[in-house]
Structure 1
Amino acid sequence: MSETAQSEVFEAIRPRLLGLAYRMLGSMADAEDAVQDTFLKWQGAEQASIVSPEAYLTTLCTNRCLDYLKAAHRKRVDYVGPWIPEPLQIGTQDDPERDLERAQSLTTAFLLLLERLSPKERAAYLLREVFGKSYPDVAATLGLSETACRQLVSRAGRHVKDPAARFVPPPEHQERMLSAFLAALESGSPDRLSVLLADGVQFQTDGGGKATALRRVLRGPEAVGKYVARILSRLWTGARLEHLDINGLRGIAVYDGPRLVTAMTLGYSEDGRIDRIYNIRNPDKLRRLSRPLRHDPANGALWNEVCDPGI
Structure 2
Amino acid sequence: MKTLETKTKRFEDARPQLMGLAYRMLGVVADAEDAVQDTFLKWQAADLAGIRNPEAWLVTVCTNRCLDILKSASRTRMSYVGPWIPEPLQTETISIQEEDLDRAQSLTTAFLLLLERLTPKERAAFLLREIFGKPYDEVARTLGIKEAACRQLVSRAAKSVRQDQARFAPSAEQQEAFLAAFQNALVTGTADQLGDLLAETVSLRTDGGGKATAISRVLEGPELVGKFIARVLGRLWADARIERREVNGIGGLVILDADTVVTAMTIGYTPEGTVDRIYITRNPDKLRHLTAPARHDPATGGLRFH
- 1:98: how far off? 7.8
2: CA distance between counterparts of 1:169 and 1:100? Answer: 11
Question: What residue in structure 1 maps to residue 185 of structure 2?
Answer: 184
2: CA distance between counterparts of 1:96 and 1:286? Answer: 29
SS of 2:278 mapped into structure 1? strand
**1:103/1:247 contact within 8 Å kept:** no
**1:139/1:145 contact within 8 Å kept:** yes
**2:93/2:298 contact within 8 Å kept:** no
1:103 maps to a residue whose letter is A
Can you give the 5+ residue segments of structure 1 that lack an aligned partner in the other structure? 307-311
**2:140/2:150 contact within 8 Å kept:** yes
- 1:232: how far off? 0.7
**1:245/1:251 contact within 8 Å kept:** yes
2: CA distance between counterparts of 1:35 and 1:144? Answer: 23
Q: How does 1:153-232 map to 2 (within 5 A)?
A: 153-232=154-233
2: CA distance between counterparts of 1:73 and 1:175? Answer: 36
CA deviation string 1:225-277 (max 9, x = no partner): 11111101111011001110001110001012222110001111111111111
SS of 2:262 mapped into structure 1? strand
Q: How does 1:46-125 map to 2 (within 5 A)?
A: 46-94=47-95, 103-125=104-126
SS of 2:152 mapped into structure 1? helix
SS of 1:36 mapped into structure 2? helix
- 1:99: how far off? 8.3
- 1:204: how far off? 0.3
1:217 maps to a residue whose letter is V
1: CA distance between counterparts of 2:51 and 2:97? Answer: 39
- 1:102: how far off? 5.2
Q: How many residues align?
A: 305
TM-score (norm 2): 0.96
Question: What residue in structure 1 maps to residue 255 of structure 2?
Answer: 254
SS of 1:85 mapped into structure 2? coil
The more displaced of 257-266 and 52-61 is 257-266
**1:99/1:248 contact within 8 Å kept:** no
Can you give the 5+ residue segments of structure 2 that lack an aligned partner in the other structure? none
2:264 maps to a residue whose letter is A
Is 1:28 aligned to residue 29 of structure 2? yes
SS of 2:104 mapped into structure 1? helix
- 1:163: how far off? 4.7
- 1:190: how far off? 3.2
1:242 maps to a residue whose letter is E
Question: What residue in structure 2 maps to residue 9 of structure 1?
Answer: 10
1: CA distance between counterparts of 2:74 and 2:84? Answer: 12
1: CA distance between counterparts of 2:102 and 2:142? Answer: 26
TM-score (norm 1): 0.94
